[in-house]
Amino acid sequence: MSEFNAQHPRRNDGTKERTLFAVKDQPAGAPIDPTPTPQERIEATVEVQWMDYSKKPKNGDLRTGEATIGVDSYTSDEAPIAFVATVSSYRSDENGEPAFVPVQHLFREIDGELYGQHFEGRFRDNPVAVDAAWFERKAGELSYRGERSIESAARTAELRIQDFIAIDGQLWEKTREPAYQVITFGLSGPNSTSLSIVNAPHPEDNEDSWDDNVSDECYFPADQYEAAVEYALKVAEKRGDTGALGRIRGTVPIEITGGYKPGTVWTPAPRLDYVPVYDSRFGTADFAESLADFRRQLAELPGVVTRTDDGFGGTSVTIDYSKLTTRQAGDYKEYLAREEELRRLGR
């Protein structure tokens, strides 16, 4: 590796354009990123690999070259703290004994984006320095088989680290805001319910969350601590999990220290408190009452229920299932199917 200057970031006055990547003997007309260079940037020259198919027979030869890649560098004053999340971490306590101890994790904001030290979807207890070793590790993670030139390999290397920045020389990664998550484990019983602090669900769906099995309505924004605790306690009590009540009440609230509004990039799911169809299907009176309560709650949600004149003196009701969670929509459809079944039976 060439001489590394991570401890002395390269500077300019912000008026020059920054190339997306830099390689030895860079060809004319290489892509240029018009974004002005930030005041500071930490860069390193790393080894990249690609496959050369220019010779016959075109079996491909592995080539190696050098590319200069980097991350934007800021001071902590330029990245104000937006949230402080306190989570339990298994480590040594003050007496050197293994124990779960509270650890604070910071979420910093730069230009409307949040950054945290939460790599691979997990909170990290120990900071990572942006140094030569880190750049080399990231470059080593690249899959060279899909690259056909050193320019392509260099571009991929730069794109691979585009979500990372340095703050006071430490590594931070673009992340989602913190949120509360209510989760259950296995069958009902002791220690089967938990209230945790995690990253909020992906703005488009829940596939990017760390647990795809958690229903959307089990997530609460950082400014809904009381609602999250109340919901978790209710879930625990229904499951007979009295042992979790104290831990749930002891969850440390997320501190909101900046101007970032919770729920900015994701919409918390509606929360409905209805009786599952299975619990009400063995009694028409109970079923009718439960369905009426379910419908009442749906009608109170903005934009879910639309009523129109059916042209025959009645009213047509349309449900916008896209505004409900998958579980809520499925449960309501199951209620409707059961209602139709009872109607056919004359009950």
| DSSP assignments along 314-336, one per residue | SEEEEE-GGGS-HHHHHHHHHHH
79/171 Cα distance (integer angstroms): 13
pLDDT: is 39 or 152 the higher one?
152
Considering the domain architecture, whether residues 148 and 20 belong to the same structural domain is answered as yes
Residues 65, 147, single domain; the answer is: yes
170-175/193-199 β-pairing: unpaired
In a shared domain, residues 327 and 244: no
Identify whether residues 55 and 145 lie together within a single domain. Answer: yes
pLDDT at site 188:
67
Q: What is the pLDDT of residue 282?
A: 60
Nearest to 269 by CA among 231, 215, 207: 215
How far is Cα 19 from Cα 12, in angstroms, rounded to an integer? 13
- Residue 111 in any domain: the answer is no
What CA dihedral angle connects 150, 34, 203 and 194, to 10 degrees?
70
Q: Check residues 230 and 47 and name the one with the higher pLDDT.
A: 230
- In the predicted structure, residue 81 carries a pLDDT above the cut 90: yes
Same domain, 212 and 319: no
Provide the pLDDT for residue 280. Answer: 66
Query: What is the model's pLDDT at position 108?
Result: 95
Q: Each residue of 11-69: pLDDT tens digit? A: 333 333 333 333 333 343 444 343 444 458 898 888 888 888 777 776 777 888 888 88
Asked if the model's pLDDT at residue 276 lies above 90, the reply is no
Quick check: is 3 in a domain? no
Task: Tell me what the mean pLDDT of segment 109-121 comes to.
Answer: 81
Q: Out of 15-24, 192-201, 241-250, 261-270, which region has the weakest mean confidence (pLDDT)? A: 15-24
Whether 302 has a pLDDT exceeding 60, the answer reads: yes
Q: With CA atoms as reference, report the closest residue to 122 among 196, 227, 216.
A: 196
Q: What is the pLDDT of residue 283?
A: 52
- Provide the domain limits for residue 316: 277-344
305 and 206 co-located in one domain:
no
**Predicted pLDDT of residue 122:** 57
**Position 65 in a domain:** yes
Length of the chain: 347
Confidence of residue 180 (pLDDT cuts 50, 70, 90): very high
Residue 340 forms part of a structural domain: yes
Predicted confidence at residue 293, as pLDDT, reads 93
Q: Which residues, 6 or more positions from 91, have their beta carbon under 8 angstroms from its beta carbon?
A: 98, 99, 101, 103, 125
d(CA 116, CA 128): 12
> Do 24 and 135 fall within a single domain?
yes
Q: Are strands 10-11 and 305-309 parallel, antiparallel or unpaired?
A: unpaired
Given this model, what pLDDT does residue 21 score?
35
- Same domain for 203 and 289? no
Looking at the structure, do residues 59 and 133 belong to the same domain, yes or no?
Answer: yes
Quote the pLDDT of residue 224.
95
Task: Assign 293 to helix, strand or coil.
Answer: helix
**Model confidence at 206, in pLDDT bands (50, 70, 90)?**
very low
Residues 283-302: what's their mean pLDDT?
85
Examine residue 88 and state whether it is found in any structural domain, yes or no: no
- What pLDDT does residue 208 have? 41
Q: 173 in a domain, yes or no? A: no
- Is residue 151 a part of any domain in this protein? yes
- Contact call for residues 193 and 235 (beta carbons, < 8 A): yes
pLDDT for the residue numbered 14: 38
Residue 218 and residue 155 share a domain: no
Answer with the residue of higher pLDDT: 280 or 66: 66
Region 2-19: what's the mean pLDDT?
37
Shortest CA distance to 21 belongs to which of 43, 54, 50, 38? 43
Residue ending a domain, among 138, 162, 186, is 162
- Provide the domain count of the chain: 3
Is 290 within a domain? yes
Choose the weakest-confidence range: 110-124, 149-163, 317-331.
110-124
pLDDT at residue 25, rounded to an integer: 37
DSSP SS3 for 234 = helix
What pLDDT score does 4 carry?
36
- Could you tell me which of 73, 28, 23 has the C-alpha nearest to residue 48? 23
Same domain, 183 and 307: no
User: Which of the residue ranges 64-68, 69-73, 112-116 would you say has the lowest mean pLDDT?
Assistant: 64-68
The CA distance from 214 to 318, in Å, is 28
Separation of alpha carbons 140 and 135, rounded Å: 9
Give me the chain's average pLDDT, please: 78
Tell whether 135 and 186 lie within a shared domain. no
